[in-house]
Structure 1
Amino acid sequence: MLLPIRCSNNVCKLLSPPILSFAEMATSISELHQAHAHMLKTGLIHDTFAASRLITSAASASTPHTISHAHSIFTRLSNPNSYIYNTMIRAYANSPTPENALLLFQQMLYDFVVPDKYTFTFVLKGCASFAGLEEGRQVHGHVLKIGTGCDEYNQNTLIHLYAKCGCFEIAHNLLDRMPMRDVISWNAILSAYVEMGLMESARHLFDEMHERNVESWKFMISGYMGVGLVEEARSVFDDMPLKNVVSWNALITGYAHASCFSEVLVLFEDMQNAKVKPDDCTLVNVLSACARVGALSQGKWVHAYIDRNGIKIDGFLATALVDMYSKCGNIEKAQEVFSNSWKKDISTWNSMIAGLSTHGFGERALQIFSDMLADGFKPNEVTFIGVLSACSRAGLLNKGREMFDHMVHVHGIQPTIEHYGCMVDLLGRFGILEEAEELARMMPLKDAPVVWESLLGACRNHGNVELAEYVGEKLLELNPEDSTGYVQLSNMYAHAGRWNDVMEVRKKMKAQRVTKEPGCNMIEVDGIVHEFLAGEGMNSKQT
């Protein structure tokens, strides 16, 4: 915490470096507010250089709150220069609202502040982000008028803009006219092909390139993975002459997104053997893979690696560790990581709430939720899935109803299938089947089957055969090819001794050619992950 300083303006100028350094190292909006308040109190905010450094620090975080704060400072400056304008335009170009970069550029022109080559690079990047072809054409006109059309950065950004908007002929023409083309120029088009899923065109361009860098290979690997061509992605990776952490991450991330978690762990081992040092992205993907296959010992090894190398456990890394320990059954260790994490984000809180809920610690999960609100975090849809699940598993009926109401009317979050499912499950546990049925009716038909399945299970558990028959018929109507409804309805009839009805359900299954899917599970034994199906022999995969 900064202590209040009382001094004259001249003295404050001497003390300005510490406060500006504090602003530049700020890691939260509250610290930025603190630095801003100090500069307002001392008058330092009126110094253009000092104000620009505060704006740069706030804008560089590129989150809605920090950019909004940076903009509020910006609007109070009497004579912002091109550097300050460029800082704000760049921040908006990289934000979820890139169109604001163009609006700020217009204001810059109205204020008769002369743009430079950096201005156009940032504005064009913003246009590319929201596929603003017409706006980009107008900015292109300004580029030619000002005379920065030969600037390499402007040319590369223009190429990417036109390619991103699908104007590949224009993009190629610009590339052909460049006197000094480099790999970045080629990548500007290559990345656009990949983003659009045009992998055949991307491959042709990739093969034409006389020079490639790590980014080129990364685009191809990610692109192939994105359209499900795993073998092609691996082939590109294997052909790379030199592989660094970026290329390894591209392949590992692709396998993780393709749910090939055992392959992720094998790749991580290969990466270590290749003496390539993993970064946070690598570790997060590997921990997520450990969580999905239950590889606790390997997850512990990754955690030990993090500690040995002095890597800060915060944000995504903290979330991945909490999630790994929770899903691998060690909730105590998950809580320890959570408590010791020096900087938590909303995902970290959500992961801890979900982990406690899964392990049956409903009251503790709700306490973490309260702590999260007290720390100023705004809950999202995922938060309430964990909260409502905790209420359901712990049998907290009134609390569950209260949380569902708060989610909608206090936090303005519209319920999704997961939220309805949690509430139907909670009401079903207490036999409040009519209210549960009413909630199920509120679901869109395309999303409803899983909720009706939960209600059918509750009907079976509470012996409400009449409602179960209605729910079962509704479920079969919505999803006639899924075995779950048939099986549950058959089991309920069997429990009630209605064997003729059991036979009727099985006849319907046979007529629809519906078969029951075998159960699947994974366990880790002595560092080896085993995957097996019900009714089959064990299939081992060493990781």
Structure 2
Amino acid sequence: MLALQMAANSSPPPILSIIDMSNTLSEVQQAHAHMLKTGLIHTTFAASRIVAFAATVSDAQTIAHARSVFDRIATPNSYTWNTIIRAYANSADPENAILLFHQMLHSDVLPDKFTYPFILKACSRLHGFEEGRQIHATSVKTGVDSDIFVQNTLIHMYASLGHTRHAYCLFDRMSERDVISWNAILSAFVARGLMEQARRLFDQMPDRNVESWNFVISGYVDLGLIDDAQSLFDGMPTRDVVSWNAMITGYVHAGRFREALELFGIMQNAEVRPDNCTFVNLLSACARIGALSQGEWIHTYINKNEIQIDGFLATALVDMYSKCGSIEKALRVFRDTSKKDISTWNSMIAGLSTHGYGECALRLFSEMLMDEFAPNEITFISILSACSHAGLLHEGRRVFELMTEVHGIQPTVEHYGCMVDLLGRAGLLNEAQGLVSAFPCKDSPVVWESLLAACRSHGNIELAEHVAGQLLELNPQDNACYVQLSNIYESAGRWDDVREVREKMRKEGVRKEPGCSMIDVDGIVHEFSAGDRSHPQADEIYRKVDEMKTRIRSIGYVPDTSQVLFEIGEDEKESALLWHSEKLAIAFGLLNSGEDMTIRIIKNLKMCGDCHSAIKLISRAYGREIVVRDKNRFHHFKNGCCSCNDYW
């Protein structure tokens, strides 16, 4: 108020400076009130300053205030028209920009070369191809279509609406082109996945800026051509954070997680400041390979540099900690996050689910509803999965009903898969089969796979053969189906059937996915496969495995040789069990980590029963907490017990 009083005691211009320096609508409204008192509001130039404020803010309330001022200007000039059109073009209601443009056509002020870029942007945002064509025709009539800025915006509009041919025709007819023109048509080819044409155009460009390089790199990344993207990236004269993010994203999407983390190290040496997009992708890479120490380092970096944790970044942190086995830290991040979105809630519920904390997941779901977050399909997949992992049959049925009857969400194949898994684990195979039969999309493997797993758990060979037949009819290359069926036959001692399944796999060219386990020690991820002797510490690891066997035998370990699916002697079966990948990884962890440190393992397949029993005893014999993430869930082993309570 003091500033306004000072302005009131001097000539009119200072009040305009106050508007230019304002940060909130309230401040502008105070200035507006002063202008009404002094009569300055009746000056077109002065009134236009209030309208100009709206163009920089573009929220609904501010634009509404600016529009009320604009409508009272007797003779708005082209600057004022363009400003209010620009404000609407950037707002949540870009159609109002087009309505104002038509009013402008019938006014005393004709659109100029500054009007068209704003109005064409509104057409792009509205996906208004026909409106854009009409405005293009108007630009020709008013003689501004030859302006390079108007031409560039036209190219961008046609390209963003998927009309690459229109965009290229305009580009081809341009007498003068700048780098913006080239980039506009380059982005059009990239958006359509026409990388051969895009690369040819890129090579022809007389001048390129960093945006030109980023377009082509992103195009290669989107098509999964990571090596081509890397080759181009290596040749860039200068790189910005978008360039680095494109490559890191590409490596993560291609499953090349270690390379993504290595590239981040190079990015740091180049002194390029990462942004939230960088961190989201890096945390995803850490989550996939269980690189907890690297994920913790990234979290520390975020906090140290006071980077704002929005919903996306909070979700990535929760997901990383959950998938790296530290559910306590995931919960801490979740509780400390003030800007949660539905994805953050879903990620936390999913984390609790995979760790076997079904009742905690249900409580969090109730809390989410009380906080008035509307659950979506993903929420119910996570909560149904939580019920399944924890054996909460009654609660799972209630959630399934709640989803359809209260929230109006129709079940998808994933929801049916969770329910079949829940019923199957509880031994209700007939009910599970009935649910599959009632499911409208019987050609989805997910529900059949859940039912087949239940058949194996409960030894129902007859139903397993029927389910396997359905699965192999859908996908003859389904290696998991062959393995499950072979396991079922082997458990029943039906070796002729086992050989028949394996022979069929050989004829079909189907191979069993080899089991592997990963462990992160001092920021380096080590990977082991069954019987693997390639590690530099192999001799020490195998001696440690023998020591583990001796220790756990003394407290009751008996090898479960039924888990070995080969017709070999009992001694050979015991050795095969001893060399499973998770046991090798645990031996490595015992050798290379402090006695008070948790050993964290990630395994690509479901853990076998023998390993589960053995690791319980290893945790007791060595006084170490061991966390294993297998294909389905987490197991927290401590003092001879597992968090799953042997229900897995």
The TM-score with structure 1 as length reference comes to: 0.80
Alpha-carbon separation, structure 2, partners of 1:343 and 1:334: 15
Classify 1:437/1:153 alpha carbon distance in 2 versus 1 (closer, same or farther; 3 Å).
farther
Per-residue deviation, 1:218: 0.7
Measure, in 2, the Cα distance between the counterparts of 1:353 and 1:70. Answer: 39
Q: Provide the C-alpha distance between the structure 1 equivalents of 2:49 and 2:334, rounded to a whole number of angstroms.
A: 37
Q: Provide the C-alpha distance between the structure 2 equivalents of 1:535 and 1:282, rounded to a whole number of angstroms.
A: 37
2:437 counterpart of 1:444 = no
Partner of 1:109: 102
SS in 1 for 2:266: helix
Equivalent residue for 1:222?
Answer: 218
Distance 1:459 1:172 in 2: 59
The residue number in structure 1 matching 2:331 is 335
Distance in 2 between residues matched to 1:530 and 1:250, nearest whole Å: 27
**Aligned match of 2:301:** 305
Say which SS state the counterpart of residue 91 (structure 1) adopts: coil
Contact 1:445 1:478 in 2 (8 A): no
Which residue is equivalent to 1:91? Answer: 91
Q: Distance in 2 between matches of 1:72 and 1:430?
A: 59
1:4 alignment partner in structure 2: none
Counterpart Cα distance in 1 of 2:534 and 2:122: 53
Q: Is the contact made by 2:384 and 2:400 (CA closer than 8 Å) also made in structure 1?
A: yes
Shift in Å, 1:306: 1.0
Which shows bigger deviation, 380-389 or 369-378?
Answer: 369-378
The aligned counterpart of 1:397 is: 393
- The equivalent residue for 2:520 is 524
1:322 to 318, 322, 326: 318
Q: How much has 1:145 moved relative to structure 2?
A: 3.4
Instruction: State the Cα distance separating 1:504 from its structure 2 match.
Output: 3.7
Q: Determine whether 1:382 maps to 2:378.
A: yes
- Bigger shift: 488-497 or 420-429? 488-497
Contact preservation (8 Å) 1:531, 1:538: no
**Cα shift at 1:237:** 0.9
TM-score in terms of structure 2 length:
0.68
Aligned residue for 1:524, secondary structure, equals strand
Is 2:356 the partner of 1:360?
Answer: yes
The change in CA–CA distance for 1:50 and 1:167 in structure 2 (over 3 A counts) is closer
Q: How does 1:54-203 map to 2 (within 5 A)?
A: 79=71, 82=81, 83-92=83-92, 101-102=94-95, 105-106=98-99, 109=102, 120-128=116-124, 132-164=128-160, 170-175=166-171, 178=174, 181-203=177-199
Supply the AA of the counterpart residue of 1:89: A
> In structure 2, what residue type is equivalent to 1:91?
S
Please tell me the root mean square deviation across aligned C-alpha atoms, in Å: 3.6
Whether the 8 Å contact between 1:392 and 1:426 is mirrored in structure 2 is yes
- The answer to whether the Cα contact below 8 Å between 2:136 and 2:154 also exists between their aligned partners in 1 is yes
Q: Does the 8 Å contact 1:459/1:467 carry over to 2?
A: yes
Which residue identity does 1:269 align to in structure 2?
Answer: G
The match for 2:417 among 417, 421, 428 is 421
Where 1:522 maps in the other structure, the secondary structure is strand
Q: Secondary structure at the match of 2:526?
A: strand
Partners of 1:387 and 1:364 lie apart in 2 by 10
Measure the CA separation in 2 of the matches of 1:416 and 1:485. 22
Is this contact kept in 2: 1:24–1:57, CA < 8 A? Answer: no
2:271 is equivalent to residue 275 of structure 1: yes
Structure with higher Rg: it is: 2
> Can you give the 5+ residue segments of structure 1 that lack an aligned partner in the other structure?
1-12, 26-35, 37-46, 61-66, 93-99
Q: Is the 8 A contact 2:51 2:69 kept in 1?
A: no
State the Cα distance separating 1:475 from its structure 2 match.
1.9
Residue 418 to residue 273, structure 1, CA distance change in 2 (3 Å): same
Instruction: Write the deviation string for residues 365-403 of structure 1: whole angstroms up to 9, x where unpaired.
Output: 222222222222222222222111111112221221222
Could you tell me which runs of 5 or more consecutive residues in structure 2 were left unpaired when the two chains were aligned. Answer: 1-14, 30-40, 42-46, 73-79, 537-648
- Quickly say closer, same or farther: Cα 1:103–1:467, change in 2 above 3 A: farther
CA distance in 2, matches of 1:387, 1:185: 50
Aligned equivalents of 1:391 and 1:22: distance in 2?
49
Letter in 1 for 2:366: S
Distance apart, 1:252 and its partner CA = 1.2
- Tell me what 1:6 maps to: none
Secondary structure of the corresponding residue to residue 481 of structure 1: coil
Q: The residue matched to 1:211 in structure 2 has which SS?
A: coil
Measured after TM superposition, the shift of residue 150 of structure 1 is 4.3
Alpha-carbon spacing, 1:183–1:535, altered in 2? closer, same or farther (3 Å)? farther
Cα distance in 2 between the residues matched to 1:484 and 1:24 = 64
Distance 1:531 1:127 in 2: 53
In structure 2, the residue matched to 1:7 is none
Structure 2 counterpart SS, 1:377: coil
* Residue-pair matches, total: 492
Task: State the Cα deviation string for residues 393-445 of structure 1 (Å, max 9, x = none).
Answer: 12221221222222223323232232222111111111122222233231524
Instruction: Indicate conservation of the 8 Å contact 2:224/2:250, yes or no.
Output: no
CA gap of 1:509–1:176, structure 2 versus 1, over 3 A, is closer
Q: 1:498 to 1:197 in 2, by over 3 A?
A: same
Measured after TM superposition, the shift of residue 152 of structure 1 is: 4.1
1:118 deviates by: 5.6
Per-residue Cα deviation, 1:108-166 (whole angstroms, up to 9, x for no partner):
52696776656532442354467654432212012233454344432211112334566
Output the amino acid matched with 1:88. Answer: Y
Between 221-230 and 456-465, report the one with greater CA deviation.
456-465
Q: Deviations over 1:171-222 (max 9, x none)?
A: 3453455565321111000001101111111111111112111111111111
- 1:284 aligns to 2:280 (yes or no): yes
| Alpha-carbon distance in 2 for matches of 1:248, 1:452 | 42
> Aligned with 2:525: secondary structure?
strand
Going from structure 1 to structure 2, the CA distance change for 1:131 and 1:498 (only over 3 Å counts) comes to: same
Native 8 Å contact 1:86 1:118 kept in 2: no
